[in-house]
Structure 1
């Protein structure tokens, strides 16, 4: 395959790849509409959308929370040391090795559970990542 700078690289249904000039690409393909809203730190959304943001590596908070700087994020690669001083990898058949972490003023709480008001609220927003 020989491509030039600025070409699109298209992957076919069988995994084959080929270059395509931008003008040909625009004449051949149409934009796809998605159900995902464009999210910024000024956009408010539901808890369901907040979960999607977390799964993509983002951090979310609620306008309705009292503490400043509190947010949730997805924690992965979770392990702990048991009473026998063995490191246990916290894998789960259904969700793998992850949990929602609540980062608050007193520290981090792993395995945070949303309240009814958290789940029904539409005042979630995306926190500016680090």
Structure 2
């Protein structure tokens, strides 16, 4: 599938990756802003000027770390080898 289709799957709570990625066990998923707000006890917009936390993409890297705020490269966005991780 293409990146747009994969992104829609991530919005539905699915974990996605690319067949063409060299790293094993690397995948991307959506982190809900409301979940971060709950975990951080911050960002509810309760107080004047307090920002709210928005949804973001995260990637599990080949070094077994979670990177919050993953950005797709041009190659990732133009590829048609995206898949849902089972």
User: Aligned residue for 2:62?
Assistant: 105
* SS of alignment partner, residue 42 of structure 2: strand
**Runs of 4 or more off by more than 6 Å in structure 1?**
none
User: Aligned residue for 1:88?
Assistant: 42
Relative to its length, the structure with more helix (as a share) is 2
Relative to its length, the structure with more strand (as a share) is 1
Partners of 1:60 and 1:67 lie apart in 2 by: 14
CA-CA distance at 1:91 after TM superposition? 2.2
Q: C-alpha deviations, 1:25-78, integer Å up to 9, x for none?
A: xxxxxxxxxxxxxxxxxxxx0000011100100010001111100000001222
Structure 2 unaligned blocks of 5 or more: 44-50
TM-score, normalised by the number of residues in structure 2? 0.77
Q: Which has the higher contact order (CA 8 A, sep 6+)?
A: 2
Larger C-alpha radius of gyration, 1 or 2?
1
Aligned length: 75
